């Protein structure tokens, strides 16, 4: 098929500077980088779910994306048909015969809750008689399964509707027959737990009953714990009575938990009223003091699992990015450490009935996600100095071959521009000592944390001799509440400055070659990549933006309304802080962009909408910067299908290597005489701002930045493909001793926005107070 001008489909379809990836199944066999393919194809396993009888369900990567698998009693795994879409999580029914599945069709944000039969047959009580059945979501809505009712006749889900521009999320009770009753609604509402208060004779009607819900409500960084009692009466839940109250402690950045068996107390993992997330025992029915079960000044509680009758719990701690486990006696509060898990990071923790064995999802820098068990009744072999009361055994793993040969990172700390300590992970290839070509990689969130987990992109770069530094700039989790809140609103300029601090440290300590520093990031990390490229253009030779925001105003206009409603406390409120959003948006600084840029996006992404990538490419192209655009049909905010993941890693590595491994101190194609005045930079593209003091080159910097390419004007070698890649480098005879760090402009912008920040405080207060006493609206109608 010819698309015009000799461009044909079936391989990479190049439209201008757009590299459009064909859908899986249409592309030919990949090239000769078998090792890269082996790393990318290593299937990660995660999100385990235990049935009452002990059967295990989990999500595993595959050629078509994440899929649902079940490990039966005989130990053999089998894939479960959940219909089209990428599986994110699963939830067993109380009887163990049905599974509620969280599915993302096309990888997008309009997720669905589907019910399938665990034995592969048609689920009971579904009108169509068999196969996966959509119970919630779709048709402009996003749904997430939360809890089954005790009788297994209904499921509580959270559901957000694109048509509701307020962005509120509803908790909905949905019967297997499709009837529904709305229970509550609020901003970023999440159902943490559900218990049946009393056993009512509902005659088999799932919409009749009395329930207690534990809800998390509120925008990012302003979460509150709310307990709701709801009584649904005939007909079909049409009559409803609600009562609710907010648990003490104010607001939190971290909040999840569950009820005790009787529903009278709540076990919360939260930083309510404290700097670090702790495990708290909070009374619900009667006044009483909150009991701190587990707390550390140097670590956050991430998750816990109750054992047996609920008298003991296993607690997972996040200690500077690595996981530690302790066994806690709840009545006394005494604890003892468990042996270190076989991998660095615990991503899920479950306890089998009886409390004698744990199921853990683990991840490590050299191994993708795996499932392990931990026998809590194990005894040490004779002669060991101390009793080893826990023993690990691998349950499911698809690790790549020779994982011992892969690079494992080491922690690296540094001091930011304002004295704040930053931490990250340094991946060094096995090469002789000395400064190295280095990629600074920025994680998403920003309420997330770079941890020593498996990243095929890192290993592919290391195999090419490129080091990777993955920092946790301010705003990241894992370092306390104050650190996470340190990038809110106008303080985001400090987070941008943190990136420059990282480069300064890598150069000053001799780790990174100052001429060969690149930057890349995904989602918020993509935004931060673009921001760093335009605020500090002199520092970076190349960039990769993966689904990052370039204009916060258009992000708010085009993202899903429930995502926008939750983000105002983090980035700023478009209704009251438009000046702040414009100042923070890289789009209005693109006149300073100098480094070649690869832009990557999924066509179905409505979290960070496609318009963000399109604006980035348009502005970079107008600037005259070498910009390539990698667009993935059938993918959303994450690239998950195997062929696409392989193509992304290969393209990104070739792009970065072409610029970071180019000959040292290359000469421009037509270098001006040594005595001549350096040419002025291209004029800013119309409509993209003038750049300002932090968004334009200083005159003395212009003497050191020139556009370079192959000296003979030919093609630059990039991996196995020959493409033209012009880059930005330092002209040898004019290059300073080390990269120049423009001190001050970012902080000056922050100071100039203090008045804007004041309006942001009132916006945060308004959101924290909500529209009602506890910020949750009640709905009594049934559908």
CA angle 544, 549, 553 (to 5 degrees): 155
pLDDT value of position 72: 86
Question: What percentage of the chain carries pLDDT values higher than 90?
Answer: 65
Torsion of CA 548, 554, 555, 558, to 10 degrees: -120
Q: How far is CA 686 from the centre of its chain?
A: 34
Structure tokens at 499: 């990136």
Cα–Cα distance measured from residue 186 to residue 278, given in angstroms and rounded to the nearest whole number: 25
CA dist 358 and 537 (Å) reads 49
Q: How many CB atoms lie within 10 A of CB 204?
A: 9
Q: How many C-beta atoms lie closer than 10 Å to residue 533's C-beta?
A: 26
pLDDT attached to residue 216: 96
How far apart (Å, rounded) are the C-alpha atoms in residues 21 and 4? Answer: 17
Cα three-residue angle 337-339-340, rounded to 5 degrees: 105
Amino acid 202: pLDDT: 59
Q: Which helix (H) or strand (E) holds 188?
A: none
Predicted confidence at residue 562, as pLDDT, reads: 97
Domain ranges across the chain: 406-550+585-663+692-752
Give the pLDDT score at 85: 95
SS3 63: coil
Provide CB contacts within 8 A for 625, sequence distance 6+: 593, 594, 595, 596, 597
Interatomic CA distance for residues 162 and 565, integer angstroms = 12
CA distance 583 to 259: 44
Whole-number pLDDT of residue 721 = 30
Give the Cα separation of 46 and 66 in Å (integer): 10
Going by the DSSP 8-state scheme, the letter that residue 296 receives in this structure is B
- CA 33 vs. chain centroid, Å, equals 28
For residue 629, what are its two tokens?
């655009």
| Residues of the chain under the 70 pLDDT cut | 1-34, 120-130, 199-204, 235-239, 287, 379-388, 401-404, 664-783
Q: How far is CA 456 from CA 111, 140, 348, 646, in A?
A: 27, 34, 21, 9
Name the fold adopted by 406-550+585-663+692-752.
Answer: Rossmann fold (3.40.50)
Which of 567, 552, 530, 531 lies closest to 445 in space, CA to CA?
567
Model pLDDT, residue 379: 62
- Do 126 and 106 form a contact (C-beta atoms < 8 A)? no
Using the CB atoms, write b or e for 192-202: b if 16+ within 10 Å.
bbbbeeeeeeb
Concatenated DSSP letters for 350-397?
A: EE-TTSSEEEEEEEETTEEEEEEEEETT--PPTT-SS----EEEEEE-
**Cα dihedral 236→238→241→242 (10° resolution):** 90
Both structure tokens of 773: 């006493």
Instruction: Classify residue 229 by burial, with Cβ atoms within 10 Å: 0-12, 13-18, 19+.
Output: middle
What integer pLDDT is reported at residue 56 of this predicted model? 96
CA distance 456 to 401: 13
- Whether residue 705 contacts residue 697, with contact meaning beta carbons closer than 8 Å, is answered with yes
**At a CB cut-off of 8 Å and minimum separation 6, what does 670 contact?**
none
Supply the DSSP symbol for 52.
Answer: T
Tokens (6 digits) for 665 = 């101190």
Instruction: Single out the residue of 121, 146, 123 nearest to residue 136, CA to CA.
Output: 146
Running DSSP on this structure, what letter comes out for residue 399? P
Two tokens, residue 191 = 């159902």
Of 310, 297, 398, which is closest to residue 46 (Cα–Cα)? Answer: 398
DSSP for 747-762 reads HHHHHHTHHHHHHHHH
- Among 494, 519, 488, smallest CA distance to 593 is for 519
CA distance 236 to 181: 8
Length of the chain: 783
Whether the Cβ atoms of residue 358 and residue 341 lie closer than 8 Å to each other: no
Cβ atoms of 338 and 351 closer than 8 Å: no
Q: Is 178 helix (H, G, I), strand (E, B) or coil?
A: coil
Tokens 């195997």 sit on residue: 642
| Alpha carbons 13 and 618: distance in angstroms, whole number | 19
**pTM attached to this predicted model:** 0.82
Residue 623 has what pLDDT?
94
Q: Give me the pLDDT at residue 403, please.
A: 59
> Measured on CA atoms in the order 124, 125, 129, 132, is the torsion positive or negative?
negative
Backbone angles phi, psi at 540, to 5 degrees: -125, 140
Tokens for 237, please give them: 């839940």
For residues 608 and 107, the answer to whether their CB atoms sit within 8 Å is: no
**Cα–Cα distance measured from residue 187 to residue 220, given in angstroms and rounded to the nearest whole number:** 9
Distance of alpha carbon 348 from alpha carbon 362, whole angstroms:
7
Contact 187, 566 (CB under 8 A): yes
- Which value, in Å, is the radius of gyration of the alpha carbons in the chain? 27
Measured CA to CA, the distance from residue 37 to residue 653 in angstroms comes to 13
Q: How far apart are the first and last CA of the chain?
A: 48
Element (H, E) at 612: helix 610-623
- Name the packing angle between helices 642-660 and 456-463 (round to 10°): 40
Res 120: pLDDT:
67
How far apart CA 41 and CA 644 sit, in angstroms, is 11
């Amino acid at each position: 098929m010819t698309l015009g001008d000799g461009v044909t489909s079936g391989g990479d379809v190049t439209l201008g500077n757009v590299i459009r990836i064909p859908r899986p199944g249409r592309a030919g066999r990949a090239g000769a980088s078998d090792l890269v393919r082996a790393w990318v194809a290593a299937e990660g396993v995660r999100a385990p779910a235990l049935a009452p009888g002990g059967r295990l369900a989990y999500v595993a990567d595959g050629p078509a994306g994440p899929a649902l698998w079940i490990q039966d009693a005989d130990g053999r795994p089998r894939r479960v048909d959940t219909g089209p879409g990428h599986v994110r999580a699963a939830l067993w029914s109380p009887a163990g015969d049905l599974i509620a599945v969280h599915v993302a069709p096309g990888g997008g944000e309009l997720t669905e809750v589907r019910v399938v039969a665990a034995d592969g047959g048609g689920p009971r009580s579904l009108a169509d008689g068999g196969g996966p059945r959509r119970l919630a979501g779709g048709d402009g809505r996003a749904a997430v399964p939360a809890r089954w009712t005790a009788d297994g006749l209904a499921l509580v889900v959270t559901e957000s509707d694109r048509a509701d521009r307020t962005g509120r999320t509803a908790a909905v009770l949905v019967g297997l027959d499709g009837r529904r009753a709305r229970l509550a609604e609020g901003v970023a509402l999440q159902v943490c737990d559900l218990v049946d208060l009393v056993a009512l004779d509902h005659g088999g009607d799932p919409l009749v009953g009395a329930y207690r819900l534990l809800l998390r409500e509120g925008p990012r960084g302003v979460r509150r714990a709310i307990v709701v009692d709801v009584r649904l009466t005939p007909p079909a839940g049409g009559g409803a009575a609600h009562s609710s109250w907010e648990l003490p402690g104010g607001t939190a950045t971290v909040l999840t938990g569950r009820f005790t068996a009787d529903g009278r107390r709540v076990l919360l993992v939260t930083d309510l009223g404290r700097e670090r997330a702790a495990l708290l025992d909070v009374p619900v029915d009667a006044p009483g003091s909150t009991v701190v079960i587990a707390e550390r000044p140097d670590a956050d509680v991430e998750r816990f699992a109750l054992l047996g009758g609920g008298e003991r719990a296993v607690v997972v701690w996040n200690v500077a990015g690595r996981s530690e486990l302790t066994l806690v006696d709840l009545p006394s509060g005494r604890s003892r450490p468990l042996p270190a898990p076989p991998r660095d990071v615990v991503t899920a923790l479950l306890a089998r009935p009886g409390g004698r064995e744990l199921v853990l999802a683990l991840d490590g820098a050299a191994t993708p996600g795996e499932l392990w068990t931990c026998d809590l009744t194990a005894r040490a072999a004779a002669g060991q100095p101390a009793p080893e009361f826990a023993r690990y055994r691998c349950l499911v793993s698809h690790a790549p071959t020779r994982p011992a040969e892969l690079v494992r990172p080491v922690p690296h700390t540094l001091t930011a521009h304002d004295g704040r300590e930053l931490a990250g992970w340094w991946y060094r290839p096995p090469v002789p000592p000395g400064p190295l070509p280095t990629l600074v990689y920025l994680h998403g969130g920003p309420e997330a944390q770079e941890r020593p987990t498996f990243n095929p992109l890192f290993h592919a770069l290391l195999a090419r001799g490129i080091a990777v530094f993955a920092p946790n700039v301010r705003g990241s989790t894992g370092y306390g509440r104050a650190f996470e809140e340190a990038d809110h609103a106008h303080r985001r300029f400090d987070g941008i400055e943190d990136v420059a601090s990282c480069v300064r440290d890598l150069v000053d300590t001799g780790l990174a070659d100052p001429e060969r520093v690149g930057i890349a990031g995904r989602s918020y990390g993509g935004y931060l990549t673009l921001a760093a490229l335009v605020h500090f253009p002199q520092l970076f030779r190349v960039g990769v933006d993966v689904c990052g925001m370039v204009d916060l105003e258009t992000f708010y206009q085009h993202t899903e309304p429930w995502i926008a409603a939750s983000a105002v406390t983090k980035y700023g409120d478009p209704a009251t802080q438009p000046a702040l959003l414009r100042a923070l948006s890289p789009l209005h600084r693109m006149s300073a962009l100098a480094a070649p840029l690869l832009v990557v996006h999924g066509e179905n992404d409505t979290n960070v909408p496609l318009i963000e990538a399109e604006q980035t490419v348009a502005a970079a192209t107008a600037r005259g910067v070498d910009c390539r655009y990698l667009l993935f049909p059938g993918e959303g905010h994450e690239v998950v299908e195997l062929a696409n993941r392989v193509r992304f890693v290969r393209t990104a590595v070739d792009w970065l290597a072409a610029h970071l491994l180019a000959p040292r101190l290359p000469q421009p194609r037509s270098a001006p005489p040594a005595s001549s005045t350096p040419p002025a930079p291209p004029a800013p593209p119309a409509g993209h701002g003038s750049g300002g003091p932090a968004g334009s080159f200083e005159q003395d910097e212009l003497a050191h930045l020139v556009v370079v390419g192959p000296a003979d004007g030919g093609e630059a070698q990039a991996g196995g493909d020959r493409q033209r890649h012009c880059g930005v480098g330092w002209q040898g005879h004019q290059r300073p001793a080390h990269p120049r760090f423009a001190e001050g402009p970012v902080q000056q912008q922050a100071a100039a926005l203090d008045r804007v920040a004041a309006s942001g405080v009132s916006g945060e207060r308004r959101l924290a107070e909500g529209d009602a006493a506890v910020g949750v609206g009640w709905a009594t109608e049934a559908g």
